Amino acid sequence: MRLQGRIALVTGAGNGIGRGIAHVFAAEGAHVYVSDVDGVSAEKVVGEISTSGGKAMALVCDVSRGQDVTALFRVIESAHGKLDVIINNAGLNVREDFRHLSDADWVKIREVNLDGVVRIARDGFELLKASGRGSLVNLASIMAHRGLRQLAAYSATKGAVSALTRALAVEYAPFNIRVNALAPGFVETNLTNRVIRNPMIAKALIDQTPLRRFGSTEEIARAALFFASDDSSFVTGAELAVDGGMSAGL
């Protein structure tokens, strides 16, 4: 068990990739804080983990609200006084042609995908430091490096997450906190299913993926496990493409 005895926080863990990460981490022995703005989903994931014999606790937290994040870390601090792993996963998108993007939609995307990541990375510092071997993993995306119609605002936030990851790796290294990013390609979740279920778009995306399929949430979770565990003890400031080779192609 590669995370035996470790304390891990996964934001946006009520669904999709975050849920997959929570499951894999719990199966590897971690005590997982399953955090989400949607408390019902978070509790459901905790129930699933408990049924399979893992340790998990649900914490409702909207990462775009400073007071929620403060309360979240307070709970973990009083229970453990440290945090070994943080997965900065909560994210959303609003599909819109950029020229029609409203200020409200831009703020909504930015407040979760970037401001939320910044807040968690900043306010979680002391607990990661207390671990003595902290690992912070940010969910970037292939879209940090590639363009697709109606995803410009989302791409901008993911590009910023990618840059933030490298900068924080340097700043947090003296405290033995490693900071890395995952850049998934396309995985069917609530975030993507409207697009992926369109057969024409699905075919176009798969044609551009050398492995000729979409990824699974478990495959992203396995990559997160690498960054979270001592298997990556000399890796910081890295971004791992988990995209079936999509970003390697033309």
Residues forming the site for ligand NAD (CB under 6 A):
11-12, 14-18, 36-38, 41, 61-64, 89-92, 112, 116, 139, 141, 184, 186-187, 189-192
Contact 121, 80 (CB under 8 A): no
DSSP string for 154-171:
HHHHHHHHHHHHHHHHHH
Shorter beta-carbon distance to ligand NAD: residue 176 or 247: 247
Contact 14, 44 (CB under 8 A): yes
Residue 229: left (phi > 0), alpha (psi -120 to 50), or beta? beta
d(CA 181, CA 238): 6
Catalytic-labelled residue, pool 25, 33, 154, 172? 154
d(CA 79, CA 91): 27
Tell which residue, 138, 90, 141, 131, has the closest CA to residue 230.
131
Shortest approach of ligand NAD to residue 85 CB, angstroms?
16
DSSP tag of 146: S
Coil vs helix vs strand at 10 = strand
Query: How far, in Å, are 42, 71, 73, 94, 120 from residue 67 at the CA level?
Result: 19, 6, 10, 24, 12
Shortest approach of ligand NAD to residue 17 CB, angstroms?
4
Shorter beta-carbon distance to ligand NAD: residue 3 or 153: 153
Q: Is 172 an annotated catalytic residue?
A: no
Shorter beta-carbon distance to ligand NAD: residue 130 or 201: 201
Shorter beta-carbon distance to ligand NAD: residue 130 or 196: 196
d(CA 20, CA 25): 9
Shortest approach of ligand NAD to residue 38 CB, angstroms?
4
Shorter beta-carbon distance to ligand NAD: residue 81 or 98: 98
Q: Which two tokens stand for residue 232?
A: 């990556």
d(CA 87, CA 62): 15
d(CA 24, CA 66): 28
Shortest approach of ligand NAD to residue 234 CB, angstroms?
25
Shortest approach of ligand NAD to residue 188 CB, angstroms?
7
Known catalytic residues are 154
